[in-house]
Amino acid sequence: MDSFGFAVLQTEGLARRGLLKTAHGTIDTPAFMPVGTAATVKGMTSDTVAATGAQIVLANTYHLMLRPGAGVVEEMGGLRRFMAWPGPVLTDSGGFQVMSLASLRKITENGVEFRSHLDGAMFKLTPESSVEAQRQFGSTITMVLDECTVPDATKADAANSMRLSMNWAKRSRDAFREREGYGVFGIVQGSVFADLRLESAKALTKIGFDGYAVGGLAIGEGQEKMFLVLDATLPNLPTNSPRYLMGVGTPSDIVGAVKRGIDMFDCVLPTRSGRTGQAFTRRGTLNIRNARHARDPRPIDCDSDYPKLGDISRAYLHHLFKAKEMLGPILLTMHNLHYYQELMQGIRTAIAEGSFQTFASEFYKVQAEGDIEALL
């Protein structure tokens, strides 16, 4: 492999087990990236993130350019030194956050002008300035600037948005400074329309990127439509490059997307759920706030091998949440992130052993068995 490169080690059907080599370490795929939007995975230190099994984290250009600013991060030695994270970092370009600003932004062919949600100050983000900010961050993987198509867009609006994103993708690629071990990913757009996704995939492949992301999903279209989009998109992306499904998702989403050929994921769900009392386990989710856990001496997941939480009871976690102690969300976030990493390891092992179809079938069977709260 080159200094930045991807190798597929095993396949089973469309599912792939691979290795992504970067300047800052090697990533086993399929991989889940914890979300550290503002250079922090909420409630976690970098060493506790690493202890869950994570090999790469995600940060966000939009939030970091507003605060503390790309120049400050660069002066501090880049994101990895700033947040004391030893491994690779992928930075989202900010397109999704810009979409959410709605009335606070103005999009043109050149880029987007928007008001900061913090203090109302005006900012301008172009493909070139987004890529430059990510260079200042020292991002291992840079994402092109795109316009994330709004939910329920008409086909005409989705087409215009996608073609604007493809123009921005070319400008982003041209602005990217080649450095050994660093990469840049394009982002497929096109809403839920298969022909637009095909057009986008072909445009990005013609430009040429180190990896390809599928964006604009998990914004309300539902799992069935998301999988249909993947079915239409992934066969048109290079097989020798990593494929990244942005902002996804639930464990069920991840297993289904791996089955279709996705290699990389990120989502706020495990950390956000950890802060609100929801725990992910092999047998589904449970709400630690429920009264049934008040006198339960068992660990949160009897099947987990995570040593940091092995001696902590559900009763104690229940107490921490009821007492509004900050330790509760921290511990449950740790658990959820470890669960996601255990899920990814299980997927990788199953693909390597040629048993992924069995793994997926058993996973969905357990998920369909009903409410875990009634099973425990």
Catalytic residue among 92, 146, 263, 301: 92
| Per-residue three-class SS string for 310-368 | CCCEHHHHHHHHHCCCCHHHHHHHHHHHHHHHHHHHHHHHHHHHCCHHHHHHHHHHHHC
DSSP, res 34: E
Q: What share of the chain is helix, strand, coil (3-state, %, to 5)?
A: 45, 20, 35
Backbone angles phi, psi at 260, to 5 degrees: -100, 0
- Is residue 177 exposed (0-12), middle (13-18) or buried (19+ Cβ within 10 Å)? exposed
Catalytic residue among 210, 253, 263, 266: 266
Question: Could you tell me the two tokens for 158?
Answer: 């989705």
311 is catalytic: no
Could you give the 3-state DSSP secondary structure of residue 44? coil
Residues facing residue 211 across a β-bridge: 185
301 is catalytic: no
Distance set, CA 323 to CA 145, 147, 298, 319, 326 (Å): 43, 42, 20, 6, 9
d(CA 280, CA 305): 14
- Is residue 207 exposed (0-12), middle (13-18) or buried (19+ Cβ within 10 Å)? middle
Backbone angles phi, psi at 124, to 5 degrees: -125, 130
d(CA 256, CA 234): 13
Distance set, CA 159 to CA 132, 147, 189, 195, 234 (Å): 27, 11, 9, 10, 19
Across 331-352, b (16+ Cβ under 10 Å) vs e yields bbbbbbbbbbbbbbeebbebbe
d(CA 270, CA 321): 16
Tokens 């691979």 map to which residue? Answer: 18
**Residues annotated as part of the active site:** 92, 266
